[in-house]
Amino acid sequence: MTKINSFNAKKGQIEVICGPMFSGKTEELLRRLNQLKYYDAHYLLFTPKIDTRSPKYARSRNGRKLSSITISNSMEIIKYIKKIKKKVDVIAIDEAQFFDNNLSLICNRLANENYLVIVSGLDMDFNGKPFPAMKELLITAEKVFKLKAICSVCGAKASFTERTNINSKKQIVIGDKKIYSARCRHCHSLSKSRIFQK
Ligand SMILES: [Zn+2]
């Protein structure tokens, strides 16, 4: 296949794909990485070790998957890049909400070093609170793509994630459809709490 040389990663920047669960964030990330094969561009894809749902792969619910480098903390991204010898243009990170607070610093450093950094992750937890690793990224990113899911109650576009069938108040509980569903603002339990009311 003839490669197109117009891929321009010389001006590094950060792009964030965010939204609730079931909004297609990983699908969108993998779609973008797959398109790189038409260019003379190479990527590294990182996923967090804590996410045990799909070890060594970033996998979308539509069945698309790409092998990934599984890491325990965001500093390992820098260590990995220093170690490898091949040319890399794009650093991709999936399930970024599970990373530590240094993720934004790391991503900004990489963008300053002219990498295109594409990050996919949940913006809000089940309580409508930002995930710490995503908070600063969303502020410093050049581009933010906020995806929507479909509300499991009314069918409207959904930006929130509801946690059901579990009592834990912990921000991070790994799970899928058994304990999470996408909800619109009006169908989310928070709409009945003081947080969203005057
Ligand atoms: Zn709804």
Digit-coded pLDDT (tens) for 133-143? 999 999 999 99
Digit-coded pLDDT (tens) for 59-72? 888 888 889 999 99
Give the CA distances from residue 94 to residues 57, 83, 119, 172, 181, in Å, rounded to whole numbers and listed in that order: 10, 21, 6, 15, 19
**Within a domain: residue 131?**
yes
Judge whether 124 and 20 are in contact, CB under 8 Å. yes
User: How far away, in angstroms, is 113 Cα from ligand 1 center?
Assistant: 43
**Within a domain: residue 6?**
no
Mean pLDDT by 10 residues, the chain (198 residues): 57 94 96 90 92 78 87 95 90 95 96 96 94 94 97 97 83 80 94 65
Question: Which residues, in sequence order, are CB contacts of 92 under 8 Å at separation 6+?
Answer: 29, 32, 33, 43, 44, 45, 46, 58, 117, 118, 119, 120
**Within a domain: residue 49?**
yes
User: How far away, in angstroms, is 162 Cα from ligand 1 center?
Assistant: 11
Show which residues are catalytic.
95
Distance, in Å, from the CA atom of 178 to the CA atom of 98, rounded to the nearest integer, reads 19
**Within a domain: residue 167?**
no
For residue 23, what is the domain's CATH number?
3.40.50.300
User: How far away, in angstroms, is 186 Cα from ligand 1 center?
Assistant: 6
User: How far away, in angstroms, is 155 Cα from ligand 1 center?
Assistant: 6
Q: Give pLDDT, residue 9.
A: 46
Q: Tally the domains of the chain.
A: 1
User: How far away, in angstroms, is 33 Cα from ligand 1 center?
Assistant: 32
Domain, as residue range, for 131: 13-147
**Within a domain: residue 171?**
no
Digit-coded pLDDT (tens) for 16-44? 999 999 999 999 999 999 998 888 889 99
Q: Give pLDDT, residue 167.
A: 78
**Within a domain: residue 160?**
no
**Within a domain: residue 51?**
yes
Of 157, 169, 173, 174, give the one whose Cα is nearest residue 20: 157
Residues with CB under 5 A from ligand 1 (ion): 151, 153-154, 156, 184, 187
User: How far away, in angstroms, is 160 Cα from ligand 1 center?
Assistant: 10
